[in-house]
């Protein structure tokens, strides 16, 4: 075991003031505190990698969930959180809700351990205890909002303990806008580590041996059938599907880096792409989705790998007719608005349109990058409004404007659509849980989408049955028939306004 060192006490009096703040309030204070605590560099990098605007912070779950999920899904990887107990409770709950089979590590803190630097010592101790090479290839430690704002210096942790890699990352909600991009923060950090290892000497071979064909690394989580289907489409070009990043095991990182080309299926993996570029790899955007998407993608991948034109044509001629047939066999009829936070929204919209749907709006919580440019242009040419960094308000306004037969979206979008008696589907649970690519993807959405649209009459029946019950003044649970009291409400409103004015006057006077 490496000898433990004494860690200097942090000289950051602002640290204590951010304890108690979070994503509900105090973002500006936390950013200032983080900057004065030597986190400017990391915040600047995030601001460049994950540009905000037009909406600053899409309403989505805690961003750190993305990094946590990537860590928890990797074999022989321990993931530890450092943050406020309420954040850790929420993140642990969510990860187990989504089926994590692993424990989440936690290093608690209080105001005193933050300002004295004891928290860092506690993290260091936890990392040393956890770094057992018999159990783990890597230990990931994630600074949440308060420890990041307080400058807890994870970069001072040893890079390796007993052969176990130590990966420390800051994933504050005030620096990483979405949980999708937080996946990239960890995937990028791991790729960087693995790239340095590969550059330094021999590394572990892939579990199934090194591929005898040039491989295409697939960037972005996808339905398990999709990489298999992509592999089949690459085969006539003499190529093979490589690993999916974020990977499921450390050694796959070397395999991912050792590719002929990277397919940025999800377009927001900016830090990961930086590592692939540093390893000398080309990047191809978009995905083999629908007829036109697959035709263009096979050509772009083939050209990037110097595949002769006749082999690219062979792959296209083999699969495109099947895709066309599958799309025609399962048409979708109806107007759809679509929004999500996974980064695959534009691809899904393309598939829906090629299936015959009338898609009017696509909102993505993710930022605009060059890797989704072709999809955006394709959609806009079909008259679709594409909104990057879409807010909940954008998504809801699109429903009001386009009055769709079906709203696909996040939980609050679906909730609102249901209130309006519109059929709706959860993007994450019902759309992302299906193959989207190539032949398997063509037509895969028709069943669920058409069934949902056909349910409109049920919403109408429910609305006429319940009428206004449970809305407005009668919302809630009552043991008597609720009575509306507008006078009482007006009186309370007046008093609150008066109190607010008084408070403001006192603040200005003080
Ligand atoms: S760690 Fe997540 S839940 Fe906690 S304050 Fe930050 S954004 Fe909010």
200-241, pLDDT tens digit by residue? 999 998 888 889 999 999 999 999 999 999 999 999 999 999
Listed in sequence order, the residues at least 6 apart from 496 whose beta carbon sits closer than 8 Å to its beta carbon are: none
Give me the residues paired with residue 241 across strands.
Answer: 216
Query: 56: pLDDT confidence band, cut at 50, 70 and 90?
Result: low
Which one-letter DSSP state was computed for residue 509?
Answer: H
Domains and CATH numbers, the chain: 14-177 (3.40.50.1980), 215-325 (3.40.50.1980), 329-464 (3.40.50.1980)
Q: pLDDT class for 96, splitting at 50, 70, 90?
A: confident
Better-scored residue on pLDDT, 25 or 351: 351
Q: Which of 189-193, 467-471, 501-505 has the lowest mean pLDDT?
A: 467-471
Which residue has the CA at smallest separation from atom 5 of ligand 1? 22
Q: Check residues 155 and 39 and name the one with the higher pLDDT.
A: 155
> What per-residue confidence (pLDDT) applies to 38?
80
- Extract the tokens encoding 287: 């995905």
- Residues paired with residue 425 on neighbouring β-strands, in sequence order: 408
Q: What is the pTM of this model?
A: 0.88
Q: Residue 326 is encoded by which pair of tokens?
A: 């599958």
pLDDT at position 253 is 97
Contact criterion met (CB below 8 Å) for 337 and 368: no
Tell me the sheet residues that pair with 385.
Answer: 361
Give every CB contact of residue 466 below 8 A, 6+ residues apart in sequence: none
**How many whole angstroms from its chain centre is CA 219?**
13
Spatial distance between the Cα atoms of 134 and 240, rounded to a whole number of angstroms:
32
Q: What is the pLDDT of residue 14?
A: 57
26 lines ligand 1 (CB under 6 A): no
3-state class of 288 per DSSP?
A: coil
Q: Is 22 in the pocket of ligand 1 (CB under 6 A)?
A: yes
> Which of 21, 65, 83, 104 to mutate to test ligand 1, by most ligand atoms within 8 A of the CB atom?
83
pLDDT at 375: 97
Which residue's CA is the nearest one to ligand 1's atom 8?
23
Closest residue (by CA) to atom 3 of ligand 1? 87
Please, how many CA atoms are within 13 Å of residue 394, restricted to the half-sphere of its CB? 24
What is the number of the ligand 1 atom nearest to the C-alpha of 173? 7
Q: How far is CA 503 from its chain centroid?
A: 41
Whether the CB of 152 sits within 6 Å of ligand 1? no
Ligand 1 atom with minimal separation from the 145 CA: 6
How far from 492 is each of 125, 406, 500, CA to CA, in Å? Answer: 54, 39, 12
The secondary structure element, H or E, covering residue 274 is helix 270-278
Proportion of the chain above pLDDT 70, given as a percent = 93
* pLDDT the model gives residue 183: 97
Length reported for the chain: 510
Choose which residue among 169, 172, 176 to substitute to test ligand 1 binding: the one with the highest number of ligand atoms within 8 A of its C-beta. Answer: 172
Q: Is the beta carbon of 144 within 6 A of some atom in ligand 1?
A: yes
Span from the CA of 313 to the centroid of ligand 1 (angstroms): 49
Q: Does residue 23 line the site of ligand 1, with CB under 6 A?
A: yes
Q: DSSP class of residue 155?
A: G
Q: Is 151 in the pocket of ligand 1 (CB under 6 A)?
A: no
Radius of gyration of the chain from its Cα atoms, rounded to whole angstroms? 25
Q: Which residues contact 350 (CB under 8 A, 6 or more apart)?
A: 289, 290, 292, 293, 375, 378, 379
List of residues 6+ apart from 72 with CB closer than 8 A: 79, 95, 100, 102, 104
Burial of 36 (0-12, 13-18, 19+ CB in 10 A): middle
What are the two backbone dihedrals, phi and then psi, of residue 378, each rounded to the nearest 5 degrees?
Answer: -65, -45
Check if 62 has its Cβ closer than 6 Å to any atom of ligand 1. yes
Is 87 close to ligand 1, i.e. is its CB under 6 Å away?
yes
CA of 23 to the centre of ligand 1 (A): 5
Pocket flag, ligand 1, residue 367 (CB < 6 Å): no
Question: If we measure between CA atoms, which residue out of 182, 307, 179 comes closest to residue 240?
Answer: 307
Kindly state the tokens that stand for 321. Answer: 């007719």
- CA of 301 from ligand 1 middle (Å) equals 39
What's the average model confidence in pLDDT over 128-147? 96
Main-chain phi, psi angles of 88, to 5 degrees: -65, -40
Nearest CA residue ID for atom 2, ligand 1: 62
Tokens of 387: 């909104």
pLDDT in tens, 426-468: 998 888 889 999 999 998 999 999 999 999 999 889 888 887 7
Q: Which residue has the higher pLDDT, 125 or 485?
A: 125
Rounded-to-10 torsion of CA 304, 239, 221, 228: 150
Question: Taking Cα atoms as reference points, which of 235, 241, 261, 228 lies closest to residue 315?
Answer: 235
Q: Which stretches of 58-204 are DSSP H helices?
A: 64-72, 85-97, 111-116, 118-130, 145-149, 179-200
In order, the DSSP letters of 140-160 are EEEE-HHHHHTT--GGGS-SE
Ligand 1 atom closest to residue 65's alpha carbon, by position in its atom list: 2
57 lines ligand 1 (CB under 6 A): no
Q: Report pLDDT digits (tens) over 264-315.
A: 999 999 999 999 999 999 999 999 999 999 999 999 999 999 999 999 999 9
CB contact at 8 A, 14 and 115: no
């Amino acid at each position: 075991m490496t000898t433990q060192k004494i860690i200097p006490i942090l000289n950051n009096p602002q640290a204590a003031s951010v304890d108690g703040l979070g994503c509900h309030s105090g973002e500006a204070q936390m950013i200032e505190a983080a900057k004065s605590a030597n986190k400017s560099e990391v915040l600047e990098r995030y601001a460049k990698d994950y540009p905000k605007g037009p909406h600053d912070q899409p309403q989505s779950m805690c961003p750190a969930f993305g990094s946590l999920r990537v860590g928890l899904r990797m074999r022989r990887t321990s993931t530890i959180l450092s943050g406020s107990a309420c954040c850790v409770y929420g993140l642990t709950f969510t990860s187990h809700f989504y089926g994590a089979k692993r424990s989440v590590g936690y290093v608690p803190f209080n105001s005193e351990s933050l300002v004295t630097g004891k928290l860092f010592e506690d993290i260091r101790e936890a990392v040393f205890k956890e770094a057992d090479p018999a159990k783990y290839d890597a230990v990931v430690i994630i600074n949440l909002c308060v420890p990041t704002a307080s400058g807890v210096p994870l970069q001072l942790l040893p890079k390796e303990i007993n052969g176990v890699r130590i990966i420390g990352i800051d994933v504050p909600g005030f620096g990483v806008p979405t949980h999708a991009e937080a996946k990239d923060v960890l995937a990028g950090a791991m790729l960087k580590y693995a790239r340095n290892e590969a550059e330094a000497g021999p590394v572990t071979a892939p579990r199934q041996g090194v591929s005898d064909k040039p491989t295409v690394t697939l960037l972005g989580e996808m339905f398990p059938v999709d990489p298999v289907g992509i592999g089949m489409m690459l085969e006539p070009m003499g190529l093979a599907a490589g690993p999916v990043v974020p990977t499921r095991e450390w050694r796959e990182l070397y395999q991912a880096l050792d590719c002929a080309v990277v397919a940025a299926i999800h377009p927001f993996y900016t830090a990961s792409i930086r590592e692939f570029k540093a390893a000398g790899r080309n990047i191809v955007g978009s995905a083999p989705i629908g007829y036109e998407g697959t035709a263009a993608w096979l050509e772009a991948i083939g050209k990037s790998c110097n595949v002769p034109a006749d082999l690219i044509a062979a792959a296209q001629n083999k699969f495109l007719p099947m895709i066309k047939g599958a799309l025609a066999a399962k048409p979708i009829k109806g107007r759809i608005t679509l929004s999500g936070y996974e980064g695959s929204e534009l691809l899904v919209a393309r598939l829906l349109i090629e299936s015959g749907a009338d898609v009017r709006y696509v909102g993505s919580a993710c930022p605009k990058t060059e890797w989704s440019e072709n999809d955006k242009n394709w959609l806009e040419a079909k008259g679709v409004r594409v909104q990057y960094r879409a807010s909940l308000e954008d998504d809801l306004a699109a429903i009001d404007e386009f009055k769709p037969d079906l709203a696909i979206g996040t939980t609050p979008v679906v909730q609102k659509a249901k209130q309006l008696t519109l059929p709706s589907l959860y993007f994450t649970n019902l759309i992302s849980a299906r193959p989207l690519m190539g032949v398997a993807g063509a037509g895969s959405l028709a069943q669920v989408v058409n069934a949902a649209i056909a349910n409109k009459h049920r919403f109408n029946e429910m609305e006429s049955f319940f009428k206004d019950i449970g809305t407005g003044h009668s919302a809630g649970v009552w043991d008597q028939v609720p009575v509306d009291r507008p006078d009482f409400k007006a009186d309370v409103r007046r008093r609150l306004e008066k109190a607010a004015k008084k408070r403001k006057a006192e603040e200005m006077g003080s």
